[in-house]
Structure 1
């Protein structure tokens, strides 16, 4: 064998050996799994993940969930060997479950100044918000034949069988809490909220737990009004459905957040979490599916800015109190209202 051929053979053999020994491991080391809502993933998070891979070489595999409770149940089922590295959920559920030290890890602060200043309430040691949103009223002017300007409009008799309203478990009981505030109650006294929902019941065509079901009902004209975040309007508008959005006082503001699951890929997962809150991904999220940026250096998309509530009209609720009460509230809701 010539020296040249022998050298070439040795080089190929060495490369093959390296590939066999390190290839699969390296590939696995450069992949993380993220669990999020399917609609959010399709509308903007996929683009964020693709940009993250281009910048870091870390591939993001998506696992979709129909809701936060569904996602958490899946995590619990794999508690001894989690296959999810980053879990998207609501701030309310995150506040309840991330104290589990076996499943969740602390998220170290981002030392990169490019992340910008996070808005108040968007970061804790166990979760980082990806975006924020209010609870709003989305309606079809061609079907309602009137402009909706406030929550009390929904109780008008001409909206009989016209509303799609989130159930108590969806959007962390915010519709119940808004109803309470409108009628002299509070998070510590939700009785007036239940009484108000009973009065509203003839106008409610559906209580929903799935955003896609509610959007479909509004698109098909089965309902003319949908209570939900402004992001619900964007896919309808993009499909040519006439929709208007108003975020009246009191406007509950909520976060969807990223949590860090304890796996062997935490270092890679932390990079993804930090990336999501930098300026370019935040701009993508805001423009792609009308969510509020949590990076204060990013301006909301024009469509979203037009319907975001004024700061004076925004309200927040103590998540610890929501978590303490939501189980009993849901049972009462099922027995007294949803049936």
Structure 2
């Protein structure tokens, strides 16, 4: 009987030691965050390292090529998600996060920095990590005159010179700019499509990958790139001389954090709140050239110089974008991109 008790005790001790092993403890003290590779490398990695030092929670990065790719991967693991936080555009997040099986709400009470957020940066199921405008990035040595307005891009001197995002990239904002600058609106995109057809001779490439468009600008295959100011940062760091302007109307967009429905929500919320802190927002603005969503943080000086004035900024109803973007994309592919 005594031997049986000793044997049982040894088995219990062994099980306890195994459950408390460093590997098991480490796994329980980590979260997985899925984001774009550039976003991670240029800003979030530094934030995640600081977060781990302060909390002991390790952040495992998972790279997505785009928001749609990330969402497809989440759907494939819906019954047992292995991602705790997913970065997305606000437009896609607004469409998919009502799925209560896959996503959890982000309560204001869990965020110590929620009161510092700028307008529009928080929804029940997502919170913005940063904001950015759609801007014009160009190589000053490759253009005849400085670019100051959207209308400049339609000039004949820019024939075969532009890298322009397709409709699905940056939430159809180039279509919105084309519409607004030619008498249309989100409810009347016909002038936008007509304007893009007129712009077509000047467009050397439509892109869905930021890295492809940056490469084209760096190599001189195009002289102008339409995209957020963050596109200019790696080019400048590599010694490529670029100029950024954000003319009126300047669409402003958010990239956001969503909370996936996993057992690690408490740790994930800590990371989300940490990203919203003044220290992290300053890091993201400086390293990644994105606008801070914490109103107590000023944009990095270089970025502040190219951000649009508040009076020049425009925003759009994400529900309308979501309702129409598939139709717009079909029309874009049929009439313009081919």
TM bin (shorter chain):
over 0.9
Determine the C-alpha separation between the residues in 1 that align with 2:110 and 2:322: 32
Q: 1:303 to 1:262 in 2, by over 3 A?
A: same
Determine the C-alpha separation between the residues in 1 that align with 2:166 and 2:187: 19
- Cross-structure match for 1:139: 138
Contact 1:217 1:223 in 2 (8 A): yes
In the TM superposition, residue 21 of structure 1 has moved relative to its aligned partner by 2.2
- Cross-structure match for 1:196: 195
1:229-248 to structure 2, matched below 5 A, reads: 229-248=228-247
1:268-322 CA distance string (max 9 Å, x none): 1111111100010000000001000000000000010000000110000000000
Q: Does 1:214 align with 2:213?
A: yes
Contact 1:149 1:246 in 2 (8 A): yes
Contact 1:35 1:84 in 2 (8 A): yes
Q: Does 1:120 align with 2:119?
A: yes
- Cross-structure match for 1:283: 282
1:209-242 CA distance string (max 9 Å, x none): 0000000000000000000000000100010001
Structure 1 unaligned segments of length 5 or more: list them: 1-12
Contact 1:116 1:278 in 2 (8 A): no
- Cross-structure match for 1:50: 49
Determine the C-alpha separation between the residues in 2 that align with 1:289 and 1:220: 22
In the TM superposition, residue 145 of structure 1 has moved relative to its aligned partner by 2.7
Q: What's the TM-score once normalised by structure 2's chain length? A: 0.94
- Cross-structure match for 2:38: 39
- Cross-structure match for 1:76: 75
1:18-56 CA distance string (max 9 Å, x none): 542222432221010000000010001000000100010
In the TM superposition, residue 264 of structure 1 has moved relative to its aligned partner by 1.1
- Cross-structure match for 1:254: 253
1:87-126 to structure 2, matched below 5 A, reads: 87-110=86-109, 113=112, 117-126=116-125
- SS of the residue aligned with 2:116? coil
1:287-326 to structure 2, matched below 5 A, reads: 287-326=286-325
RMSD, aligned CA: 1.5
- SS of the residue aligned with 2:141? helix
Structure 2 unaligned segments of length 5 or more: list them: 1-10
Contact 2:111 2:269 in 1 (8 A): no
In the TM superposition, residue 14 of structure 1 has moved relative to its aligned partner by 11
1:48-76 CA distance string (max 9 Å, x none): 00010001000000000111111111111
Contact 1:116 1:296 in 2 (8 A): no
- Cross-structure match for 2:332: 333
In the TM superposition, residue 111 of structure 1 has moved relative to its aligned partner by 5.4
Contact 1:115 1:279 in 2 (8 A): no
- SS of the residue aligned with 2:172? helix
- Cross-structure match for 2:272: 273
Q: What's the TM-score once normalised by structure 1's chain length? A: 0.94
- Cross-structure match for 2:5: none
- Cross-structure match for 1:20: 18
